[in-house]
């Protein structure tokens, strides 16, 4: 069986194409980051993280300034402890606040950071105290239904 140079080039092209597709799939799923700078690590505690996942973006004004490194449960405070790796290019005041937000109505969740007014900046190992938990869509729907159920019969009797 003879092999021509065209077979080698076609095989090489197929391998490069497969590697490119794999790279794009991992990049779009936030499973691949090509940053060799580890940044500085801060932690925050939330009552409810909703569907937040490791490697989720941390954004300020729509710009990605960090990533969620890990999520763990704190046995002493009964809260979720989120470790965040912030990019060293961005310095935020110590009194900054964090919110868990959703991109779109049913999109992925990310952490939004709002800068505070403190003169000292966050450093490695700091804990951010001002946090706002995720808004869970199921809780909002159940609150709406319960309020409508409570208003329903009495509103019809008064008319």
84-105 pLDDT, tens digit each: 999 988 889 988 999 998 887 7
The mean pLDDT of 4-33, rounded to a whole number, is 84
Say what the pLDDT of residue 140 is: 79
By three-state DSSP, how is residue 4 classified?
coil
26: left (phi over 0), alpha (psi -120 to 50) or beta: alpha
Q: What is the pLDDT of residues 69-82, one digit of tens each?
A: 999 998 998 999 99
pTM: 0.67
Write out the E strands in the chain: 40-46, 57-60, 63-74, 79-86, 97-102, 109-114, 127-128, 130-132
Chain-wide mean pLDDT for the chain? 84
Say what the pLDDT of residue 13 is: 93
Cα 121 from Cα 88, distance rounded (Å): 12
The mean pLDDT of 94-118, rounded to a whole number, is 86
- Residue 120 tokens read as 């000292």
For residues 100 and 59, the answer to whether their CB atoms sit within 8 Å is no
Residue 130 pLDDT > 80: yes
Say what the pLDDT of residue 68 is: 92
Cα 159 from Cα 110, distance rounded (Å): 46
Say what the pLDDT of residue 35 is: 59
Say what the pLDDT of residue 98 is: 92
């Amino acid at each position: 069986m003879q092999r021509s140079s065209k077979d080698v080039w076609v095989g090489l092209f197929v391998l490069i194409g497969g590697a490119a597709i794999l790279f794009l799939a991992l990049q779009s799923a936030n499973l691949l980051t090509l940053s060799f700078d580890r940044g500085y690590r801060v932690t925050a505690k939330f009552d409810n993280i909703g569907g937040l996942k490791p490697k989720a973006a941390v954004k300020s004004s729509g710009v990605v300034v960090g990533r969620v490194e890990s999520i763990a449960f704190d046995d002493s405070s009964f809260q979720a402890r989120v470790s965040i790796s912030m990019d060293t290019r961005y310095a935020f005041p110590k009194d900054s606040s964090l919110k868990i937000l959703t991109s779109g109505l049913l999109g992925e969740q990310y952490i939004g950071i709002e800068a505070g007014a403190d003169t000292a900046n966050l450093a490695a190992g700091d804990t951010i105290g001002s946090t706002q938990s995720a808004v869970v869509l199921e809780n909002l729907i159940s609150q709406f239904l319960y309020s409508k159920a409570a208003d329903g019969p009495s509103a019809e009797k008064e008319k």
